[in-house]
Structure 1
Amino acid sequence: MTDQQPLHTPRSLIVTFYGAYGRGRADHPAGRPVPIAALIRLLGAVGVDSPSVRSAVSRLKRRGLLVADRTQDGAAGYGLSEAARQLLDDGDRRIYGRTAGRSAGGWLLAVFSVPEEERHKRHLLRSRLSRLGFGTAAPGVWIAPAHVHEETRHTLERLDLASYVDLFRGCHLGFEPTAEAVSRWWDLAALARQHRAFLAAHEPVLQRWTRRRAVPPEDAYRDYLLALDSWRRLPYADPGLPASLLPADWPGGRAARVFMALHTRLRDGGARFVASALR
């Protein structure tokens, strides 16, 4: 039995689009604003209707991730906020540069204490550490591979949570074998099911593309955006644990190879479709 892939929500697809195609260029480091009409067309290509796009954009604007702006010809559009660009830049290191198998650097510990009257921040803190891929070593003590330090620091500072947390770097010295401890800190079976669900949804897509010579831009865009929207969650659920600490049949490496093959094959073709929509 495998877990189903999460649904592609309009909000998630918009974030994925900006991460893939909506960021800075040499002449406009913050990224040119995307006209709302073009965004509706681009999200329509992956099955999102116009009202859903507008509603999702409004929510992302309220969250401070998108900012209203005008295009060069005066049309209404939306660009990324500085916080959103930092979020996407941090994500690149995980999404496109998998660190699975990296064992140097040891572990990062996050030890936190939140006053009872601010328990809503305790919930937010736990939620964000979990999204960053931390496992639970003990109550109030969370653990991750040390290579997630910079991204963790950026996230905690961005959410005004840094004052509640102390970060430490160290090694596991016992008493149980580290591989056994890892199986307590993370739900490896659940992570494996997520990788297998990704493979079930997107490996057949890759197989179809390997039989095609031409790369029609709209087809490439659709398949790439959907694969990226599915994949970008996985490097956060699975923070890239050393291979020596994972089961022998771990599917994470295969899932990463499938995604990178789709990225190599489809991303540039998708960019041509985006360029045509933005003209």
Structure 2
Amino acid sequence: MRARSALFDVYGGHLRERGGAATIAALVRLLEPLDFAAPAVRTAVSRTVRQGWLEPVRLAEGPGYAMTPRAERRLDEAAARIYRTRPSTWDGRWHVVVPDVPPVREARDRLTSSLQLLGYGALGPVAWIAPRPSPELADVLAAEEVAATSFHGEHEGDPRELAAKAWDLEALGQDYALFVAEWEPLVSAVDGTAPATAFAASQRFLHAWRKFLFRDPGLPRELLPAGWPGLAAAEFFDRHTARLAPAARRFVDDSLGTD
């Protein structure tokens, strides 16, 4: 885990519901159990500010940093997929994105990575599909200076076959099963009696789970293979996250100086 990723996880998982801002001293305290020293935290904050995700603010406790509207959109979208809080809106149609002019290779690679994070899968080199439109699509296209046509369309064929073409569901399912096997002994060993330890374990657990956002678009169940391992993995993640949440919240409140 890098300091910048840890910072995103802390803002999205804890600070978003507490006003979305914290002092640098509080951020240093929050990331200390994850083995990040103060200089690494300050560097990560500076980079995140330059990239437009955080902005300086004046708090009652002193100078701090708050999420920008762009960061709020990104973190809210990520949270909806991490915790699967968004109801299914699948109506048999795909959201299709086709650049007006194919981007050059380097820009295409960056665009592909960003679109994957938003839940889009590639159909060839210049077309992407998703089971639902992303509210961040316009931001991603603008960042790469790519003009694109987007629309909803229904596939003339088995939608499960199209999903299997856009995403490697077999490999993804295997990795979900591996995630459970690897994390079961690690997360089960944390009982929540030490708030800092519980917080660190829950953040590392979240970081490992969040990597699936780059690969799993959150397909509706009718498009998933039978016996989909992602469902068991999601239940495993939810159960241990909820178990560690009270202790983790106590640590966050103590770090922020709140009751």
Asked whether the two chains share a fold, i.e. TM above 0.5, the reply is yes
Tell me what 2:54 maps to: 66
CA contact (8 A) 1:221 1:269 kept: yes
DSSP 3-state at the match of 2:245: helix
- Which of the residues 209, 212, 216 maps onto 1:234? 212
**Alpha-carbon contact 1:100-1:239 (below 8 Å) kept:** no
Structure 1 residue matching 2:164: 3-state secondary structure: helix
Deviates more, 1:93-102 or 1:250-259: 93-102
Correspondent of 1:142 among 95, 119, 128: 128
Counterpart of 1:179, as a letter, is R
Which is worse superposed, 38-47 or 124-133? 124-133
1:262 alignment partner, one of 199, 218, 240: 240
**1:272 pairs with 2:258:** no
Please show how residues 195-206 of structure 1 align to structure 2 within 5 Å: 195-206=176-187
Q: Are the counterparts in 1 of residues 199 and 251 from structure 2 also a CA contact under 8 Å?
A: yes
Q: Is the 8 A contact 1:98 1:256 kept in 2?
A: no
CA shift in 2, pair 1:154/1:199, >3 Å: farther
Distance 1:81 1:158, change over 3 A: farther
Read off the aligned partner of 1:159 and give its amino acid letter: A
Aligned-partner Cα distance in 1 for 2:144–2:177: 36
* CA apart distance, 1:183: 2.1
Letter matched to residue 58 of structure 2: R
Partner residue of 2:16? 23
- Give the conservation status (yes or no) of the 8 Å contact 1:215–1:269: yes
Contact in 2 for aligned 1:100/1:242 (Cα 8 Å): no
Matching residue's letter, 1:227: F
- Judged with a 3 Å threshold, the aligned counterparts in structure 2 of structure 1 residues 22 and 81 are, in CA distance, closer, same or farther, namely same
TM-score normalised by length of structure 2? 0.85
Distance 1:236 1:98 in 2: 18
- Indicate the residue corresponding to 1:114 in structure 2: 101
Q: Distance in 1 between matches of 2:124 and 2:102?
A: 18
Structure 2 letter corresponding to 1:84: A
Deviant stretches of 4+, over 4 Å: 98-103, 118-121
- Matches of 1:102 and 1:200, distance apart in 2: 32
In structure 2, what is the Cα distance between the partners aligned to 1:79 and 1:58?
12
Post-superposition offset of 1:16: 0.2
Return the alpha-carbon distance in structure 2 between the equivalents of residues 56 and 143 of structure 1: 33
Distance 1:270 1:109 in 2: 40
Counterparts in 2 of 1:101 and 1:246: CA distance versus 1, 3 Å: farther
Per-residue CA distance 1:46-93 (angstroms, 9 max, x = gap): 12222222221121111011122333133x422212211121112221
Q: Paired residues, what number? A: 257
SS at match of 1:67: strand
- Mapped contact 2:118–2:137 kept (Cα < 8 A): no
User: Could you say which residue in structure 2 is the equivalent of 1:156?
Assistant: 140
Distance change in 2, residues 1:236/1:106 (3 Å): farther
Distance in 1 (alpha carbons) for counterparts of 2:101 and 2:210: 30
Distance 1:96 1:14 in 2: 19
Q: How many angstroms apart in 2 are the aligned matches of 1:151 and 1:111?
A: 16
Higher relative contact order (CA 8 A, sep 6+): 1
AA in 1 matched with 2:70: A
Identify if the C-alpha distance between structure 1 residues 104 and 262 changes in structure 2 by more than 3 Å, giving closer, same or farther: farther
Q: Is the 8 A contact 2:160 2:224 kept in 1?
A: yes
Task: Name the residue aligned to 1:3.
Answer: none
Structure 1's unaligned 5+ residue stretches are 1-7
- Describe the shift of the 1:202–1:158 C-alpha distance in structure 2 as closer, same or farther (beyond 3 A): farther
Quote the Cα distance in structure 1 between the aligned partners of 2:124 and 2:87: 24
Tell me whether 1:222 sits opposite 2:204 in the alignment.
no
Q: TM-score scaled to structure 1, two decimals?
A: 0.80
Q: How does 1:40-59 map to 2 (within 5 A)?
A: 40-59=28-47
Q: CA RMSD in A?
A: 2.7
Range with bigger deviation, 178-187 or 80-89: 178-187
In 2, Cα distance between equivalents of 1:16 and 1:70: 22
Following TM superposition, by how much is the alpha carbon of 1:34 offset from its aligned partner in structure 2, in angstroms? Answer: 1.6
- The counterpart of 1:36, out of the listed 24, 37, 40, is 24
